[in-house]
Amino acid sequence: MKYQRHKNEATLFTYDYSARRRWLLGVIIAGMLILVGKAVSLQVFDKEFLKEQGDMRHISDVPVFAYRGMIRDRNGAPLAISTPVESIWINPQEFKVATRQQIKQLERLLNLETGKVDDLLTDPHKQFAYVARQVSPNLAEQVKSLKLSGVYSEREFKRFYPTGGVAAHLIGFTDLDDKGQEGLEAAYDHLLRGVAGSKRVIRDGKRQIIDDVENIKEPVAGKTLELSIDQRIQYLAYRELAHAVTINHAKSASLVVLDAKNGEILAAVNQPSFNPNMRKSLKENLYRNRALTDVFEPGSTVKPFVVAAALDGHYVRPDETFETNGSFEIGTHVVKDTHNYGTLDLTGVIKKSSNIGVSQMALRMPPKYFWEVYHQLGFGESTASGFPTEASGSLLDYSQWKPFDSATLSFGYGLSTTALQLARSYTALADNGILHSVSLFKRDEDPEPKRIFTSRTAKSVRAMMETVITKDGTAYEARVDGYSVAGKTGTVKKAGAGGYVENSYFSVFAGMAPASNPRLIIVVMIDEPSAGQYYGGIVSAPVFSKVMSGALRVLEVSPDQSDNMPVLLMGKN
């Protein structure tokens, strides 16, 4: 009985594990069901949500820069174009893992100063910093091949100016963000810059773009500007003006070429110039387009207008003569000529550039009438060429004139003008009394012609101006083989503090050719020639001659003088 009792007791303490197995199995099955349910939820019910979250981490929208519009000359030659480049930037938060060797490698490849990258890593919150702007695509690929974390590139455009300094003052330039800063690039930036687009891209774990998904918005390229400028004439004018500044040791110079028939600006150059492709060390005063923004007193170049105004107003007779005996008193003031020319007719007054002769004509005209002629010619107001910061010049109101003011205004003192304004005023003589507006853009005809003088008067004065180019005139150096030339010199003392400065001059020449039927007008202004000569007929007239000669041949204008035809033919060969 005792043994049996112990056996029964052992039986009582034996465990049954079947229940535990069933419980554990239930837990496993429940877990599997939960996992299956979650998988179904993720793959079916939450599929769009998860896809959106994944796309947020790997798909993003990036801008697509618009191509900046070209600037061309009248014949389609490029004056400003954009080329694709890359800019390298880093996310300092991601780039911090780079080793010292990798940093040095990046700086060496991009030709950066030692420590430049370290400086970009100092801000603990910064997530964007340019390392190099506008590098070549080839160099950008070399940077990408380093596979540095946090280093990225983006496509941009770099502006390039094929003519360099030849048209620099006119075209201007853009900054690193392709925004116009000077010249026409600034004035017409809203047309040239276009509208940026955008696209959707896929990025890898390092945020590098690995594929394009779709174009969201196509970029709209900027508009192309077609200028009135003729690159061939622009280069010719630039070359001759630079040479003149050098040999005359001048401070600066400007030159404008106009189409006498419709007012198109075919060339506008200045010295000194600058290269818009390389301007890191240049000073801002070099950027100024002096031909359109700098004013000067025009001197004797306005005398033909005084004669024309007096003729049209019947204040002088065509056959009238004037006594110019070296000096002419006006109240307490005295007007002088450089020589005693004696008795001069109208042609002689122009030919010898007599201050006394034109002063006598000016004093016969009522101030209001005289002022109106100058005002109608455009003096004292902008030409509205569309160039930014164009100067207006100045013209004193006639109500404030005294007799001596009328006299000084007749030989170009007391008013100021730009080279472009002066060239424009000469269209009234070149196109038989019709004054033209000016344009920097190509056009077939002037939409705003305005008659200033009668055709008969304009032709008559133009014939008088032809005598200026003779051996006993003031600008024999302005002659052009094969073509008749009409023009006028100006040698102007420069104003300074307290009055006019001795031995400091503007040397000016304004003229047109062929004089029989003018096609081109050229104004040359050279500031402070200091090599010994300063007269407009000696300093500026030779520049006019060379530029006019070349420009007429470029435009294939037929000669109007047969005497020099053999010379012309030999020159062409």
Write down the pLDDT at residue 124: 60
Q: Residue 290: is its pLDDT beyond 70?
A: yes
Average of per-residue pLDDT across 52-77: 76
At 568, the pLDDT band (50, 70, 90 cuts) reads: very low
Q: Where are the beta strands (DSSP E) in 413-498?
A: 415-416, 434-435, 450-451, 486-496
Average of per-residue pLDDT across 20-46: 76
- Total residues belonging to the chain: 573
Lowest mean pLDDT segment, chosen from 201-210, 260-269, 323-332: 201-210
For the domain bounded by 231-572, which CATH number is listed? Answer: 3.40.710.10
CA end-to-end distance (rounded Å), the chain:
148
| Residue environment code for 472-499, b if the CB has 16+ CB neighbours within 10 A, otherwise e | ebbbebbbbbbbbbbbbbbbbbbeeeee
Lowest mean pLDDT segment, chosen from 150-159, 171-180, 288-297, 470-479: 150-159
Lowest mean pLDDT segment, chosen from 119-128, 197-206, 563-572: 563-572
Contact indicator for 268, 170 with CB cutoff of 8 Å:
yes
Rounded CA gap, 566 and 391, in Å? 44
For every residue of 325-384, DSSP letters joined together read -SEEEETTEEEE-SS--EEEEHHHHHHHT-HHHHHHHHHHS-HHHHHHHHHHTTTTS---
62 versus 254: the higher-pLDDT residue is 254
Write down the pLDDT at residue 6: 52
Sign of CA dihedral 398, 404, 406, 410: negative
Question: Which of 119-128, 374-383, 556-565 tops mean pLDDT?
Answer: 374-383
Write down the pLDDT at residue 170: 97
Average of per-residue pLDDT across 21-37: 81
Write down the pLDDT at residue 283: 80
Q: Residue 569: is its pLDDT beyond 50?
A: no
Domain with CATH 3.90.1310.10 in the chain: 62-117+127-140+151-226
Hey, which residues are catalytic here? Answer: 300
Nearest CA to 489 out of 338, 378, 328, 287 is that of 338
Q: What class has domain 62-117+127-140+151-226?
A: alpha beta
φ/ψ of residue 79, rounded to 5 = -110, -20
Sequence-ordered list of residues with C-beta below 8 angstroms from that of 465, at least 6 positions apart, any chain:
304, 350, 429, 486, 487, 488, 511, 515
393 versus 566: the higher-pLDDT residue is 393
Write down the pLDDT at residue 155: 78
pLDDT tens digits, 312-336? 999 999 999 999 988 999 999 999 9
At 502, the pLDDT band (50, 70, 90 cuts) reads: confident
Look at strands 434-435 and 450-451 and give their pairing.
antiparallel
At 84, the pLDDT band (50, 70, 90 cuts) reads: confident
Rounded CA gap, 156 and 563, in Å? 58
At 205, the pLDDT band (50, 70, 90 cuts) reads: low
Domain with CATH 3.40.710.10 in the chain: 231-572
Lowest mean pLDDT segment, chosen from 11-15, 41-45, 216-220, 445-449: 11-15
pLDDT tens digits, 10-21? 454 555 667 777
